[in-house]
Amino acid sequence: MKIAVVGVTGMVGQIMLRVLQERGFDKHEILAVASERSVGKEVQFAGKSLKVIGLETALAAKPELALFSAGGDTSLEWAPKFAERGCYVIDNSSAWRMAEGVPLVVPEINADELSAEKHIIANPNCSTIQMVMVLAPLHRKYDIKRVVVSTYQSITGTGVKAVQQLENEKNGRKGEMAYPYPIHENALPHCDVFTENGYTKEEWKLVRETHKILDPKIAVTATAVRIPVKGGHSESVNLEFNQEYQLSDLKRLLADTPGVQLQDNIDVNQYPMPKYAEGKDEVFVGRIRRDLSLVNSLNLWIVADNLRKGAATNAVQIAQKLIEKGILKA
């Protein structure tokens, strides 16, 4: 099988290569694809050097699978071209997430949305993925009425430019700014651009994508904040259920959920942190406690590596599901 990794020189593209190797895709032919300015450069995969090619060359090679992480404009233009040639496109941008007929997939939750007829598949937003991984089993059992989420998001979600800004500020150097303010020793309540109603696009992604993946009846409100960490995104989540719950049963349910790891023992200061989530594929949940101000409500803390489960790993897991279902022939 030929697999194109589009945006291969970016942060997510590099992690995609790593996850593909970890999950046994190194037996396939990997096409390293990026913008014209990167054509001819080399990237490393499974001990080999791959020469970067452009999108036209990749399209002519007729890959069976393409993992896109090159931005919304590139995905809008090129994903349909690959799909028209029979390629299955898993897109990590926001371009196709809310498009009618395009599956928005977290494999542990809604892999049944995948079908042979749907050649463009959307990877949800990183913050959405980790939240719905925890919400999905709780919603099935207790029927979530309302979600209030505040995010504490890694600068890696913005990209290399943001990482460089933080490093420059830590070391007292002047340099290009990814954000309108310093990020070192700061917190910016500003992820993505503001919309007319005062919310950012990142905040609306949490609302709309949760509705599409889980249930449009769940009321969701969000505040997204950027903080100076690299390891992953953190989320403070408050849930209101329509059903009663026992805390011990709820914790057991989360502990038994594939892809979710319970870290919830305050006696030994055990709780999720982005520093220790970095490089891991699990979604970590802890600080689980009743909200004492409202009946049938709950507080919890969710952390995950936004470049892995929040992006690259989820995309590769979708590819694995396509193979399991016989949609892709590996």
Instruction: Please identify every residue annotated as catalytic.
Output: 126, 233
Q: How far is CA 37 from CA 12, 55, 68, 74, 176, in A?
A: 18, 12, 17, 14, 20
H/E stretch holding 86 reads none
- 126 alpha-carbon distance from chain centroid: 3
Percentages helix, strand, coil for the chain (3-state, rounded to 5) are 35, 25, 40
Packing angle, helices 11-22 and 313-324, rounded to 10: 40
Residue 288: closest CA among 272, 301, 269: 301
160 in helix, strand or coil? helix
Residue 67: closest CA among 318, 307, 304: 318
φ, ψ of residue 80 in degrees (nearest 5): -65, -35
The C-alpha atoms of residue 136 and residue 114 are separated, in whole angstroms, by 18
Please give, one letter per residue, the 3-state secondary structure of 275-305. Answer: HHHCCCCCEEEEEEEECCCCCCEEEEEEEEC
Please give the sequence-ordered ranges of beta strands (E in DSSP) within the chain, or none if there are none: 2-6, 29-33, 42-45, 48-51, 65-68, 88-91, 120-122, 144-153, 219-226, 233-241, 260-262, 283-290, 297-304
The C-alpha atoms of residue 78 and residue 93 are separated, in whole angstroms, by 12
The C-alpha atoms of residue 14 and residue 10 are separated, in whole angstroms, by 6
Please check whether residue 80 is in contact with residue 98, taking contact to mean a CB–CB distance below 8 angstroms: no
